[in-house]
Amino acid sequence: DGGITQSPKYLFRKEGQNVTLSCEQNLNHDAMYWYRQDPGQGLRLIYYSQIVNDFQKGDIAEGYSVSREKKESFPLTVTSAQKNPTAFYLCASSDSPSQVYYGYTFGSGTRLTVV
């Protein structure tokens, strides 16, 4: 059964620590995306990757880093430089940039809380 797996579902981090959120897809999609959801602000794009070994900053990339070493994996690291990391993080993929009209496939999200 194809889909996107995000892990863990809930994550707690101490201030000053880096943490990595996992995103794996078995849909053979070219493009992958990371969004952040905050109450009243909708989904904001952090980073995206249209092809392996290439990625671009989104609208709110400061304090985050990504890698795309494999087509199926797009991990997101929330660094200590991110001033307000507590949020719901969503990973998504699409068949290719040109297939966006079919819509993204989203994972079920990771709730990150800084304690």
Partner 1 sequence: DQQVKQNSPSLSVQEGRISILNCDYTNSMFDYFLWYKKYPAEGPTFLISISSIKDKNEDGRFTVFLNKSAKHLSLHIVPSQPGDSAVYFCAASVYHAGGTSYGKLTFGQGTILTVHP
Q: Say whether residue 109 binds partner 1 (CB under 8 A).
A: yes
Q: Site for partner 1 (CB under 8 A): which residue of 58, 67, 73, 80?
A: 58
The contacts of residue 96 (CB under 8 Å, 6+ apart) are: 29, 30, 31, 50
CB atoms inside a 10 Å sphere around CB 10? 9
- Strand 64-66 relative to strand 76-78, pairing: antiparallel
On whether the CB atoms of residues 56 and 7 are closer than 8 A, the answer is no
Q: Are 6 and 23 in contact (CB under 8 A)?
A: yes
Applying CB under 8 A, the span of 14-22, 64-72, 75-83, 88-96 interacting with partner 1 comes to 88-96
- Minimum CB separation of residue 4 from partner 1 in Å reads 8
Nearest residue (CB) to partner 1, 17 versus 98: 98
Least distance CB 82 / partner 1 (angstroms): 20
Binding-site ranges for partner 1 (CB under 8 A): 4, 6, 9, 31, 33, 35, 40-45, 48, 50, 56, 58, 90, 92, 94, 96-109, 111
